[in-house]
Structure 1
Amino acid sequence: MNLNYYATLIAVADDCPVERAEVPAPRGGKPTVATVQYAMLTGGPGELTQEDVLFETWLRRQDPPADAADVPALRDAFFSRSQACLRASPLPKRHGFGLLFDDEGRVRLCPMESDEYRRIVSGDVPGVTVLKAMRTRRA
């Protein structure tokens, strides 16, 4: 089962509340899904796939932390269940970051105010599929 996107931009949701990308903040002193994903994607842009981001987000938010020896089995168990894709991530839904996947499925952030984001969304970059992030509210 492969959940990765290739040559795709997940554009910000139509009901995204910000005009420019904003760095997500922890809530109540604890990391949120958005802060964990932001840290991963800025720490190693273009290194992770969607599957890596989904699993690592779940893994890093476990309390107590998982033993390193258990990680491969936990990853298999995690993907044995249906998972929401990054179209449901808070980064494109609420924080103004597009998620840009290369031809190998690796993802990096693409701020909505950037020239690159605007060119891709307008269709000026051939070969890149544009998908909208899921809306926060019903239409």
Structure 2
Amino acid sequence: MHTTNYINTFIEIADDSPITTAQIPPLKGENKTAANIQFEMIIDHPYKYTSDDVLFNVYAVKNNIHKSDLKEEREKFFSKGQPCMRASALTKRYGWGVHANEEGKIALYGADSDEYKKFVKDKKLQHVKAMRSKKA
């Protein structure tokens, strides 16, 4: 079983992020984007969900998975590796850092916030950067 979860880690925005002030991902048409679903889930419930919970929920919503099939579909989903929050548009494009606590539960912090700056300097945390949008 694969996982996207981090423990005691801070994911900083991508080096090539076009913005330095966090933005709410805009809606594109009637359907929510993966970034919209992730944002609403995490911002409304900080430290309630793991990265695995959030990423699988996006998959389930986008694929209209029936509630009775969630357990089996989650096992299938994580039977192979999946992109983690480092690949999320939230961290690559919209200026959000992701903190994973000691239980692997995550919360969002805007790049322009005091909390973000505090996490960046916290030497007790593992630090990783969001993936770049463009190859160097």
What is aligned with 2:128?
131
1:33 counterpart residue number: 34
Cα displacement (A) at 1:3: 2.9
Q: Which amino acid in structure 1 is aligned with residue 87 of structure 2?
A: A
Separation in structure 2 between the aligned mates of residue 67 and residue 120 of structure 1, nearest angstrom? 38
Aligned to 1:102: 101
CA deviation map 1:95-125 (0-9, x unaligned)? 000011111100000110111211222x3x2
- Percent identity reads 37
TM-score, reference length from structure 1:
0.92
**TM-score after normalising by structure 2:** 0.94
Q: Which moved more, 1:46-55 or 1:111-120?
A: 111-120
SS in 1 for 2:109: strand
C-alpha spacing 1:46/1:26, structure 2 compared with 1 (3 Å) = same
Residues paired across the two proteins, number: 135
What secondary structure, in the 3-state scheme, does the structure 2 residue paired with 1:48 have?
Answer: coil
RMSD over aligned Cα atoms = 1.1
- The match for 1:5 is 6
Amino acid at match of 2:27: P
Residue 126 of structure 1 and its aligned partner are, at CA, apart by 3.0
Partner of 2:77: 78
Extract unaligned runs of 5+ from structure 2. Answer: none
- Residues in 2 aligned to 1:43 and 1:112: alpha-carbon distance in whole angstroms: 18
CA positional deviation for 1:138: 0.8
Deviates more, 1:93-102 or 1:111-120: 111-120
CA distance in 2: counterparts of 1:92 and 1:19, whole angstroms = 11
